[in-house]
């Protein structure tokens, strides 16, 4: 089950975190994985790990905020069965502490980047009357998070775009879903703690971990397994859905 043999998958943000874990898993399950990221060194690392295990992967250095770059990249790829929009960034601050430059930066990556990739992929999928799109949303779709104003705005937009694409292209054989993780232990989390809490790294890591009722952060690989299911043929009856994967955060954190 959950094999992706002969599938062509495009994964944005595949240089690290959830995107990398998804790329490694998809390649293990038989897909040819097209890796998209801005960080060439990180892309090469992901590519090396995939090919070392006899997986198939192709690197594309691409800025998802540029529609021209995205369209040119997808034109080179050609056929696409699966698109995973994992590229994303965050910013800590409420509305008063969110400058316009940061608001625009998050919008360009988290919203426009997802739009650009779907804008490029949908016509390809529509022509062949099949395809799967999986977007990375967040628990911020469903609950208010402290000091995540701009981030929450972008992930709410991802959720809305997911529903819209699912509705518009259901009769073209295209499925579109999103998932909403709680905190995941990625390089971003480590960088955030090191930058903002020098000398208190262990204490803050423990505090952030326990904000999930389950008592820990998710591993990127755990998120990747849900993505694999939703992009597999076994999930062919699922579209227009958001799946929380949050250690009980939304329902139990009261």
Per-residue pLDDT, 188: 82
pLDDT per position as a tens digit, 91-146:
989 999 999 999 999 999 999 999 999 999 999 999 999 999 999 999 999 999 99
Q: Reply yes or no on whether the pLDDT at 254 is more than 70.
A: no
Q: Angle CA(221)–CA(175)–CA(64) in degrees, nearest 5?
A: 65
pLDDT per position as a tens digit, 146-202:
999 999 999 999 999 999 999 999 999 999 999 999 999 988 888 888 987 899 999
Other beta carbons less than 10 A from residue 245's beta carbon: 17
Catalytic residues: 151
Q: Tell whether the torsion through CA atoms of 154, 210, 249 and 247 is positive or negative.
A: positive
Other beta carbons less than 10 A from residue 126's beta carbon: 15
- Decide which of 3.40.640.10, 3.40.50.2300, 2.115.10.20, 3.40.50.720 is the CATH code for 8-182+219-248: 3.40.50.720
Q: What is the DSSP string of 145-182?
A: -TTBHHHHHHHHHHHHHHHHHHHHTGGGTEEEEEEEE-
The pTM (predicted TM-score) of the whole model is: 0.95
Judged by average pLDDT, the poorest of 27-31, 71-75, 121-125, 184-188 is: 184-188
How far are the Cα atoms of 44, 187, 190 from residue 175, in angstroms, in the given order? 30, 30, 34
Other beta carbons less than 10 A from residue 190's beta carbon: 12
pLDDT per position as a tens digit, 220-242:
999 999 999 999 999 999 999 99
């Amino acid at each position: 089950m959950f094999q992706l043999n002969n599938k062509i998958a495009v994964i944005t943000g595949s240089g690290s975190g959830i995107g990398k874990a998804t790329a490694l898993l998809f390649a293990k399950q038989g897909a040819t994985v097209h890796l998209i990221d801005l960080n060439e060194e990180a892309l090469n690392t992901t590519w090396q790990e995939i090919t070392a295990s006899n997986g198939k992967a192709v690197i594309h250095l691409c800025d998802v905020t540029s529609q021209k770059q995205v369209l040119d990249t997808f034109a080179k790829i050609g056929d696409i069965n699966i698109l995973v929009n994992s590229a994303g960034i965050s910013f800590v601050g409420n509305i008063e502490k969110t400058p316009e430059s940061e608001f625009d930066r998050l919008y360009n990556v988290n919203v426009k980047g997802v739009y650009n990739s779907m804008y490029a992929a949908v016509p390809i999928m529509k022509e062949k009357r099949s395809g799967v799109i999986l977007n990375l949303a967040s628990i911020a779709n469903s609950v208010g998070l402290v000091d995540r104003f701009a981030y929450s705005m972008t992930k709410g937009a991802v959720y809305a775009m997911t529903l819209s694409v699912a509705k518009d292209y259901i009769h073209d054989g295209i499925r579109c879903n999103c998932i909403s993780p709680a905190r995941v232990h990625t390089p971003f989390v480590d960088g955030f703690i090191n930058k903002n809490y020098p000398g208190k790294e262990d204490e803050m890591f423990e505090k952030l971990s326990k904000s999930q009722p389950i008592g820990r952060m998710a591993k990127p690989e755990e998120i990747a397994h849900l993505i694999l299911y939703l992009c597999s043929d076994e999930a062919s009856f699922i579209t227009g859905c958001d799946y929380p994967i949050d250690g009980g955060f939304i329902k139990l954190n009261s």
